[in-house]
Structure 1
Amino acid sequence: MNEPIEITDPGLQPERTVFAWTRTLVSFLVVSAVFLRWIPHYGYGIILMISISGVMAFGIFASQRARYRRMALGIKNECISADVVAILMTTLALFLLGACGLFLVLSRH
């Protein structure tokens, strides 16, 4: 088990970052639930969109502990860098969701 990292950050930066990613996780789960309602209208192509949202939500959930630890150590060592991979993956997922949605809407008519 990893020992707790003592940080004296009055702004609680690691907690704020984890909470922001948790809100993103919940948003992907809510979007997945909304997509379920679209299956009767757009067919089973929606399953791809549900899968993209679900994979992103699971990825965020699976990386939360490591993200907090990296932020806490970064503050302790006074060296923090952005999580570029997570940001790019989120951007890619949103782009894919938009492209799939656009394709489904345009192919229906």
Structure 2
Amino acid sequence: MTPPPLIHGDPGLQPERTTLAWTRTTVSFAVSSAILLRWLPHYGVLVVTLILLLVAMALGIYLSQTARHRAAVQGLVAGRVRAQVGVVALMTAGMIVFGVAGLFLILS
């Protein structure tokens, strides 16, 4: 049984906008993974590693999205929203690894 949606008083629908942004990020990771399949015959294992990194990041976002949305709504109701510093730092680190590996592939 699905829990009832939480009600909040934000007329700008901040939690919903944030959830949509994370959904777009998940889709972009999935599309990037599919595009990397073209490089598989040329670069082999490194490309597989990058694909697995992107898929793991997308799955992590997808699986934690409901809990993050619920926390944001509860924070708005309580008047105290916590920044998701850990998630943003993890995504930043993953994107840095992805970017450096992409540059390595292109320049090698």
The two structures share one fold, judged by TM-score above 0.5: yes
Kept in 2: contact 1:42–1:105 (CA 8 A) = no
Deviation at 1:86, TM superposition (A): 0.9
Which residue number corresponds to residue 41 of structure 1?
42
Structure 1 position 2, deviation (Å): 4.3
What is the CA–CA distance in structure 2 between the aligned matches of 1:103 and 1:9, rounded to whole Å? 45
Deviation per residue, 1:58-104 (Å, 9 max, x gap)? 00001100011011001101101210011001101101111222222
In the alignment, structure 1 residue 10 sits paired with structure 2 residue 16: no
Q: Residue 6 of structure 1: CA displacement?
A: 1.8
Residue-pair matches, total: 107
Identity %: 46
Which segments of 5 or more consecutive residues in structure 2 lack a partner in the other structure? none
Please tell me the root mean square deviation across aligned C-alpha atoms, in Å: 1.4
Instruction: Report what 1:98 is aligned to.
Output: 99
Moved more, 37-46 or 57-66: 37-46
In structure 2, the residue matched to 1:64 is: 65
What is aligned with 1:51?
A: 52
Gaps of 5+ in 1: none
**Quick check: 83-92 or 41-50, which moved more?**
41-50
TM-score by length of 1: 0.90
